Structure 1
């Protein structure tokens, strides 16, 4: 077999492959065997039909087509390996010449990872927010904790903002009550915005036994996204009472004996959260600076596929789960479809650049991933997915996603190297020392990288012709 590589642009090549007919013999033999196992010819035992009979009965062309379909992936892979190409996605294969007994000639156009030059990144400098916990932050944290320990008391008066109402709901569309549009005994805090749009106005001012009707777009169920008429009956009105902010509350809500101890613990916890946010901000800013340093050609087909994957996930996963439509989604985002599409393209470009650059760094720095690092990353991913580590690990193995996880960890380690080399200062001019970056950089990389298979799909085999 002979092959040649023609560079069409920095991210796409054309392979020209010539295969002598004798090298097709194993595939021809396999084709005859496959047909033998599938057909029956009177006078011959199954699997024992001579090749000449198969040619007479079913045509030599059918055998050749089967043989070529079986052989193409192998010869394509050999050509890719011979050319030392790092391919992306499926090739476009075209058989340019083939006659029975003569050599097979075909071309395969395919996207490749571009060759990148990673410049010296040690001069990257970024500024991040300082870790500062104001007394107002502590006050807000304690108020939120206090709110969680609020009690309710039935009251004989009209409902007002902040009250809890117990309601029965009945939704109908075009005068017909929906089968899944009835809910009873629902507790709702007026002003929380956690139920249906319009319910706050409908129940405010109603007393126990009162009723109202309002129109709202349903968020889930059989009529998700549809404007429905909703009847609400108030069966109880309850006033919320907050506990006093004192030592007794500290003992009720925590393991501390005094309010001051609780305040100090809240202050430390908020500082840890802000430090984590600071580290994440540093990683994101360093990554953005690194991307600016490197010229990265983007494969057009890869970008198109990535955008289509993200849109598909919205339309077929997120929207059905949340009861959204494009109209309601864009309204919530505060964008037009054109603005959203432009933002989506920018995000996809950044994701592709991130993966290409960090993969190049992994190769350049000869970074590897050990079992302990992979296990730690798997545990974190499992926690964010709501699955147990064993469940997540099983899903990863069954889905063939282990290489993807290894890539995420390796890219996290690559970004950690860049962050370590960068100069990070806060808004107060203080140098920021980041610890355990590798535990968090993978998450930063995940947020920026591809949501679909995208650039991770390498060394794909061609589809059968």
Structure 2
């Protein structure tokens, strides 16, 4: 077997493969032998069926195509391994010559996973700032937001769920969820669930406090008392602040890595990422009882225009993923079976078939690999 390989822009690869007459005749014979052994022909014992009988029954073209398919798969696997090529999707195969007792040649055209040229990323330094301290004012404002949303909800007595809040907050972080208590809930001013225990009309003011924010109100949304609610809100705000700092660090890190590394992203990967972003937008809109078409009308735009607007973001997302993947491989980041199994425990797999379970484990493995790689990089460059 001989081949020539040409690399084009954005991961395009073209491989022309020439297979000798001897090799193709041998592959043809192997296919005939398998048919003779595995299929039943009246009047003949398995493995003892003459070639001409098989050709008449099965068809020469069918045997030729099976032999060609076998050789295409076999030799492309060998070439991809030797040339360090990972195909994105199935290659397009163009057959140039296919005949009995003749050489066989074909060309495979594909998009390959791009190669990443890493700079010396370990020299990068990104400053980690301390999270903002949560002040009493922050806690009070958040509880006020929750109380305002609670009052504006129209909950029928005895129902299990409420409609989405009509009010809007002032942008302050708010209590995400009660750590104690179960049952009914409302949504606070930021759309988070707030659980409460008693069956009550929310328009009813709590007694014993001028603004209604007191122990009774705290109990209604799952806390033991107002002090406990303040503690829960403070913990929640501290986590929000810490997450914001971590997100800022990661964004700055990604910006620096993008400047340092070189990678040419194929259109197929950018389009896939745009599709994922659109799906997330659609899901977020559905949570607000909206549809994508309604959103597009409100923004006076089209789906094509939205996709075009998302393209730069999608390209950067793909670049970051490819760069971090390359760093993880270079640094020999490993994911253990135990880590995958522990991550999968949180997913209900009762209705999944074996393929779906395997896909889930692969997804978990990739997610853990990415998380461990990001953690490694942050520890190396954050100051």
In structure 2, relative to structure 1, the CA distance for the partners of 1:114 and 1:249 (3 Å cut) is closer
Residue of structure 1 aligned with 2:166, choices 192, 195, 220:
192
> What residue in structure 2 maps to residue 403 of structure 1?
362
| Structure-1 separation of matches of 2:238 and 2:244 | 10
> What residue in structure 2 maps to residue 287 of structure 1?
254
> What residue in structure 2 maps to residue 356 of structure 1?
322
SS in 1 for 2:116: coil
| Structure-2 separation of matches of 1:262 and 1:415 | 35
In structure 2, relative to structure 1, the CA distance for the partners of 1:239 and 1:324 (3 Å cut) is closer
Q: Contact 1:97–1:105 (CA<8 Å) still a contact in 2? A: yes
SS in 2 for 1:137: helix
In structure 2, relative to structure 1, the CA distance for the partners of 1:396 and 1:322 (3 Å cut) is farther
> What residue in structure 2 maps to residue 456 of structure 1?
none
Question: Are 1:123 and 2:124 counterparts?
Answer: yes
Q: Contact 1:125–1:422 (CA<8 Å) still a contact in 2? A: yes
The number of residues matched between the two structures is: 344
Residue of structure 1 aligned with 2:381, choices 415, 422, 433:
422
> What residue in structure 2 maps to residue 327 of structure 1?
293
Task: Output aligned runs, 1:339-350, within 5 Å.
Answer: 339-350=305-316
> What residue in structure 2 maps to residue 246 of structure 1?
214
| Structure-1 separation of matches of 2:164 and 2:84 | 65
**What residue ranges of structure 1 are gaps of 5+ in the alignment?**
151-161, 168-184, 195-237, 425-465
Task: Output aligned runs, 1:106-121, within 5 Å.
Answer: 106-121=106-121
In structure 2, relative to structure 1, the CA distance for the partners of 1:143 and 1:395 (3 Å cut) is farther
| Structure-1 separation of matches of 2:376 and 2:293 | 43
Q: Contact 2:31–2:63 (CA<8 Å) still a contact in 1? A: no
Cα deviation 1:300-340 (Å, max 9, x = unaligned): 344345546766x5899999999865431324667543541
In structure 2, relative to structure 1, the CA distance for the partners of 1:395 and 1:34 (3 Å cut) is closer
Q: Contact 1:330–1:337 (CA<8 Å) still a contact in 2? A: yes
> What residue in structure 2 maps to residue 102 of structure 1?
102
- CA deviation after TM superposition for structure 1 residue 271, in Å: 1.4
Cα deviation 1:85-117 (Å, max 9, x = unaligned): 233222122222333212211221222233322
| Structure-2 separation of matches of 1:12 and 1:190 | 49
Cα deviation 1:40-88 (Å, max 9, x = unaligned): 6x76679865321233455423321232123321221122223332332
| Structure-2 separation of matches of 1:412 and 1:134 | 32
Cα deviation 1:108-146 (Å, max 9, x = unaligned): 122223332222333343576842324342123323555
Question: Are 1:277 and 2:251 counterparts?
Answer: no
SS in 2 for 1:18: strand
Q: Contact 1:27–1:70 (CA<8 Å) still a contact in 2? A: no
Q: TM-score, normalised by structure 2?
A: 0.71
Cα deviation 1:12-61 (Å, max 9, x = unaligned): 22222222333343454335644886786x76679865321233455423
> What residue in structure 2 maps to residue 12 of structure 1?
12
| Structure-1 separation of matches of 2:50 and 2:89 | 39
- CA deviation after TM superposition for structure 1 residue 360, in Å: 0.8
> What residue in structure 2 maps to residue 263 of structure 1?
230
- CA deviation after TM superposition for structure 1 residue 361, in Å: 0.2
> What residue in structure 2 maps to residue 412 of structure 1?
371
What RMSD, in angstroms, separates the aligned Cα atoms of the two structures?
Answer: 4.3
SS in 2 for 1:109: strand
The structure with the largest strand share of the pair is 1
| Structure-1 separation of matches of 2:236 and 2:283 | 35
Q: TM-score, normalised by structure 1?
A: 0.60
- CA deviation after TM superposition for structure 1 residue 412, in Å: 1.8
| Structure-2 separation of matches of 1:354 and 1:84 | 21
| Structure-1 separation of matches of 2:160 and 2:333 | 55
The structure with the largest helix share of the pair is 2
| Structure-2 separation of matches of 1:109 and 1:60 | 27
| Structure-2 separation of matches of 1:316 and 1:39 | 55
| Structure-2 separation of matches of 1:106 and 1:270 | 62
